[in-house]
Amino acid sequence: MKMTGLVLALSTPILAADITGEFAKPPPKYRPTPLYWLNGKITNEVIDAQLTSFRDKDGYGSVAILPFTEWHEPEFMEKYAHLLAKLDELGMWAIFCDDQNFPSGTAGGEIGKNYPEFCSRQINKAEQDETGPKDYQADVPAGALMGCVAMNNNDHAQRIDITPGVSNGKLSWKIPAGNWKIMMFVSRRDLAMNRKDPNGNLDYLNPAAVDKWISLTYQRFYDKFPKHFGTTIKSSFYDDISLYQASPDVWNGNDRRCWTDGYNAEFKKKFGMSPVEFYPAMWYDIGPATAAARSMLFGLRAELLSEVFVKRVAAWCAAHKIDASGHPAGDYEVSPMGFSGDAIKFYQHAQRPLLDVIGAYGSKRDGYKLSGSAAFLYDKPILQCETYGAFESWKEANFTPDLLYRTAMELYVRGINLIIPHGVWYAHPNVPTPPEISWRNPIVGPSLPDYNTWAARCQLILQGGRHVADIAVLYPITAIYADCHFGNEGTDPEYLNVGERLTHTIRRDFTFMHPEVLDGKCTVDATSHTLELENKVNYEKYKVLILPGKREPGAINLSTLQKAKEFYDHGGTVISTARLPVKSAELGKDAPVAKLVQDIFGLDPGKPGHPYTKNSNAAGGKAYFVPNIDEGLEGTSRLAAVLNEAVGVWDVRFEEDIAIKSAKGKLAYIHKVRDNADYYFFANSSDDSINTWVRLKGKLQPQLWDPHTGSIGAVAFQNLKQDGQEVTRVRLTLGANKSVFFRAPSPATK
């Protein structure tokens, strides 16, 4: 490593006329937006007093209005009108929560009571083992028939679509010789499966059902308050839109069989064939076609959730001048199977993706980056997060002010840039889900004005602009589908483990890359040896592509490997972990998948137990197989050592490995570019003190922006060269549970 030009200097503050004043005194629109639970008999006088206090005592600039008890009472709309008018008077704005309580999709119970044909459905299987030859006849179970299949019990690859044998509610079939499993699949509503409302929840995969629900919710409120949409009301909030809604055990079950009657037609439209022959794969291994069958079946279900529900809501919102926003449940889970179906694709059409982080501080933290990555991949400037609800064992007394900051910091470094505190309650002290995050809570209330101002400064800078990261980590959704079947929806957590090591141990930022985005929006630049995400605003340039593996043989799209091979051939770095992919997630493509793996990594994917291996080519391309990312290697991990070897100059690099010793908190960063300036946000959510040097790519003139005080000042830095490239060495000093921005005008080239 060659370094020159070691001159210590202190930066002179550089005027940033665009947001300097706003940073000192951030406008209300950048402040957190608490969920305002209307959980009592509402009066105008109490609404007036509470909203005024939320603004003047707590420092909030807006609320997310969540009706809880009075949805269908005749006078409710009059009270809602008064609430909106009071927000206007106070200079505040609102998020429109689109249903009574949660999950969204009941229209306050109207869907189940008046439109049972639009309630959620399940795919159900009736099966029977029979030995032929003989004639077989059986009654078809109640429901919409999806298909009938005979599968040879001795060879699951031999399956016959026997649906044509159905007539007048009976299945007839001449069983050939052999031992056969006869299966009948139907889609139906099952009242016993409904979790909260015995009247049922919406069929999110049915366009007619979604349109009816929109008419009962969004359109109902727009018809009453048209002038407030796009003015007082800035965005919507749909809650817990998930595939588990028709399941017998929401959180502990592994049999979330949400379906829709029109599924077969959608499958044929997408793939040009019937899905019936593949239905058994959702319960059984069906031989060589298993991975591809599950990828198609479960992938289309996830696509329908995004295309039918989210896209329709987003279209309505766009037409009525607000942004669509909301989340599935479990958007951070290792397997999205029973939740969003696809933790990135779910957010493709919403104007404002939204993450849900409640239940406990730090819980499932390694999955938060999925939603942040969705915002980056789909070029969404605002990413909201509902958080703090039910923290610390649901005990309000345990929720202390430090958790406000710790949690927000850990969200901000993952791309979130608008916090929705959960929550404030109308009928206080009746707080079914603590904590109450207002002046009425004596523990956190006194801290809220400073917290909301700090958060507003952070959100002012972090909203919009583009994200900078050197690493793309494949979101292995097709491998997840190949792992899963009804009764076992778990998968290998390797991809989240890789992300967590990058964020909190190695400290190199990254973006989870969806395979469809890799195919459709990424190109290889042979000159810079980078993989480039081509967005209008949030374009990113990656030096490294990581393909997280799993302990068991995994599946991957052929097109993903083709892009990885192109990147490698043009000087890029590709890393595979755990175990090399073996199977194709598409029918009949196992052989070309194996060949591409061999071409890139120089290893036979069919053989287990490969050691750490490096492959390279004349163009400078490097391919590493890392079976154990945490393998100790001269004081560092194998993954860190590989990254250090593969790339000389990183966008951001800590000069020393810092081990956080406190029980709570982490140290991480995010780099955003906006208004021709680079902003580096460093967040220390731990109780340790940090004093170190970080290296930033480019010749910069940084200054320190402190979001806790609003001050702008000098920071110690050095401009130098490393391996022939300009870098800037900056002193990072952070106290416990503190954060800071370094701001620098963007260099002409970087």
Per-residue HEC secondary structure of 492-543 comes to CCHHHHHHHHHHHHHCCCEEEECHHHHHHHEEEECCCCEEEECCCCCCEEEC
Q: In this predicted structure, what is the pLDDT of residue 211?
A: 98
The answer, yes or no, to whether residue 248 has pLDDT greater than 60, is no
Tell me which of 241-255, 555-569, 624-638, 640-654 is least confident.
241-255
Q: In this predicted structure, what is the pLDDT of residue 70?
A: 82
The answer, yes or no, to whether residue 191 has pLDDT greater than 60, is no
Q: In this predicted structure, what is the pLDDT of residue 201?
A: 87
- Report, as an integer, the average pLDDT of 707-716: 97
How far apart (Å, rounded) are the C-alpha atoms in residues 651 and 512? Answer: 17
Q: Would you call 640 exposed, middle or buried from its count of C-beta atoms within 10 A (0-12, 13-18, 19+)? A: buried
Cα–Cα distance list, 459 to 298, 620, 642 (Å):
36, 40, 34
β-bridge mates for residue 3, sequence order: 722
Chain mean pLDDT for the chain: 93
3-state secondary structure of 561: helix
The answer, yes or no, to whether residue 197 has pLDDT greater than 80, is no
Q: What is the percent of the chain where pLDDT is above 70?
A: 95
- pLDDT, tens digit, 9 for 90 and up, residues 311-326: 999 999 999 999 999 9
How far apart (Å, rounded) are the C-alpha atoms in residues 277 and 284? Answer: 12
User: What is the DSSP track for 282-308?
Assistant: GTS--GGGHHHHHHHHHHHHHHHIIII
Q: In this predicted structure, what is the pLDDT of residue 635?
A: 82
- pLDDT, tens digit, 9 for 90 and up, residues 452-510: 999 999 999 999 999 999 999 999 999 999 999 998 988 999 999 999 999 999 999 99
- CA dihedral angle for residue 391, residue 396, residue 398, residue 399, rounded to 10 degrees: 60
The answer, yes or no, to whether residue 7 has pLDDT greater than 60, is no
The answer, yes or no, to whether residue 79 has pLDDT greater than 90, is yes
- Report, as an integer, the average pLDDT of 121-145: 96
Token pair listed for 301: 């279900």
How far apart (Å, rounded) are the C-alpha atoms in residues 150 and 138? Answer: 13
How many CB atoms lie under 10 A from the CB of residue 182?
A: 20
Q: Domains for the chain: give ranges and CATH numbers.
A: 3-18+651-745 (2.60.40.1180), 31-116+191-464 (3.20.20.80), 121-188 (no CATH), 467-646 (3.40.50)
3-state secondary structure of 427: coil
**Taking the model in full, what pTM does it have?**
0.95
Place of tokens 């942004």: 323
Q: In this predicted structure, what is the pLDDT of residue 177?
A: 97
Please report which confidence band the pLDDT of residue 73 belongs to, taking 50, 70 and 90 as the band edges.
confident
